[in-house]
Structures are given as structure tokens and as C-alpha cells.
Amino acid sequence: MPGPLDLNLLRVFDALLQDSSVTAAAERLHLSVPATSRALGRLRRAMGDPILVRAGRGMAPTPFALRTAPRVRSLLEEASALISADREISVADLRRTFTIRINDGVAATLATTAVEAVATAAPGVTLRFVAEGSESVEALRDGSVDLDIGVGDLDAPDIRTAPLYRERLVGIVGANSPLGRHRRPALAELCRYPHVSASRRGRARGPLDDALEAAGLRRHVAAVVPTFAVAALLVASGEHVGLVPRRLAERHATALGLRWFPVPAPLPELEVRLLWHARLDADPAQRWLRETIRAALA
């Protein structure tokens, strides 16, 4: 029959699900392996489920454990926020992993800036970046993601949001491309070269096509790739044209062997925003992280 659970057991559960290893979970929690193993036994009795089962040389979570993990993480974060809401934190002594879902175009520049800023102030903090997906709201609600950074806003009463910066797409070509000699090539010149389109949904059409059609022009999209980073690498190796966020181009064009230029078309300006769940508003550690990221990008 299922037994009682307490916060300490839930912390063990969370660590076991993150690491799929009793030894690694023990290290994460600063417990002995036997103590963690005993806690796993108590969890199994309390939840009526094996939690972790043997899988080859390692262990794997059960379907029940995978379903339960996001709710346990959410409960632990709420408890942490409740306990620490009125407490100041010592950032230098902070030991915590923050999961940040991030847009590919943003990651190439923001990730470096954020990691450097956080590492300087809080060397014990880990930033875990994951790719954006279609379930942003649910990931914030169930606690599997702490922050979401990307383009656009979410119309949900329990999701908080703050602007980070505005961004525009710019053109890129290989450093040896004839087009690279033009500081601001005309739209007609851009259409003489094959294009690479970046879309995680596999869409070849983008905002540039509307501007081209208005001018009576069309481009040939030779390849559609899932990320701006892949697009940049592909453009660097051939005679293609691509579009990437300006910050990515400014920071990495030289290292990648690219030239970048403003596109002579009214492409929409993109607003990059920071999103988090309302329950973490008062969490001092998360509040510090949000402020650090915003300050680093100012």
C-alpha cells in the first residue's frame, strides 16, 4: 500500500529522474550511495512503482516516473519559492541548475553572454539550454523549463514576460562569394544566387519572399535547414545566400568565414522576450537569474 512522502524524498526522486543513476543522484544530493538507495526503496513503496529499472548497463525511469517527474519538480520549486521568498540569497554560494528553453537564433549569441555573466557571479550555477518546442506554456507550468527565451509573446495569465531586445534578420554570404563584395546588394542581385532557409518546421517560404514578390522577383531556395547555425555553416561553404539574426552575424561572421549585409527590404523587426511562470516571481534565485540575463544584454 502506498506510504507517505516528504520533501526530502521528492528531492531524491527528482535527482534520480535527472540522472537515472543512484550513484549520480547521491553525488548531486551530497548523500551516501546507501542512503540514496534506501530512499529509492522508500519511494518505490510510497509510490507503488519501481521508479528506475535496469536497462542494459544502466537504469531507466518507468513510464509512471516520467509522467510524475514534471509535477514533482513543480512542487519542489514552489516549496523552494515559499521557503526562500523573504530571504536574501548568497549568489556566490548558490548551487542550482536552471533549464532555459531558447530559440536557435537567440542561442548563438545570448548563451555565451549569459554563461559568462552567470559564471562570474555564481560559479556553482549550471545553465542547461534546451531547444524550443511547441509546448512552451506547459513546460513552464510543469516546471520542466525555468525560463523561455525566444521571439513572440504568450497570452496566458500565469506566464510572466519581459522584453530583452529587438532583432532584425540580415543577409549572409561566404567571404569569397562575389556577392560579398557588395556592402548592400540589391534584391535582384540576391535572387541570382541559391538561398538557404532556416526553419525548424521545414518551411521554405519566409518574410523575404513577400518583399521579393512585391518587387516582381522570386528566389530559389536550394535548402531548408532546421537552425540558423546550420544555415550559416552551409552558406560559408558555398555560393548560397542566407538570412540570420543580426547579432549572430555580428558576433560569428568572421570566425565562420562569412560576410553579412543589411537586406534592402522591409523585413519585420523581431522582439526577443523572456518568459517564466508566475509561481517563480518571488523566487530570489530565479529573480537574480532574470535580472542577470537582462543586464548582460542591455
Q: Mean per-residue pLDDT for 73-82?
A: 81
For residue 134, pLDDT over 70 is answered with no
Provide the whole-model pTM. Answer: 0.66
Same CATH topology for 91-164+271-297 and 169-268: the answer is yes
* CATH code given to domain 7-69: 1.10.10.10
Name the CATH architecture for the domain at 169-268: 3-Layer(aba) Sandwich (3.40)
Cα–Cα nearest to 128, from 97, 94, 96 = 97
Residue 254 Cα to chain centre, angstroms: 25
For residue 149, pLDDT over 60 is answered with yes
173, 243 contact by CB (below 8 A): no
pLDDT band at 210 (very low <50, low <70, confident <90, very high): very high
Q: Mean per-residue pLDDT for 222-243?
A: 93
Query: What is the model's pLDDT at position 1?
Result: 45
Alpha helices (H) in the chain, listed in sequence order: 7-19, 22-29, 33-47, 63-84, 104-121, 136-142, 187-190, 207-214, 228-236, 246-256, 284-297
Query: What is the model's pLDDT at position 288?
Result: 94
Domain assignments of the chain as residue spans, ordered by start: 7-69, 91-164+271-297, 169-268
Quick one: 91-164+271-297 is in which CATH superfamily?
Answer: Periplasmic binding protein-like II (3.40.190.10)
φ, ψ of residue 283 in degrees (nearest 5): -70, 115
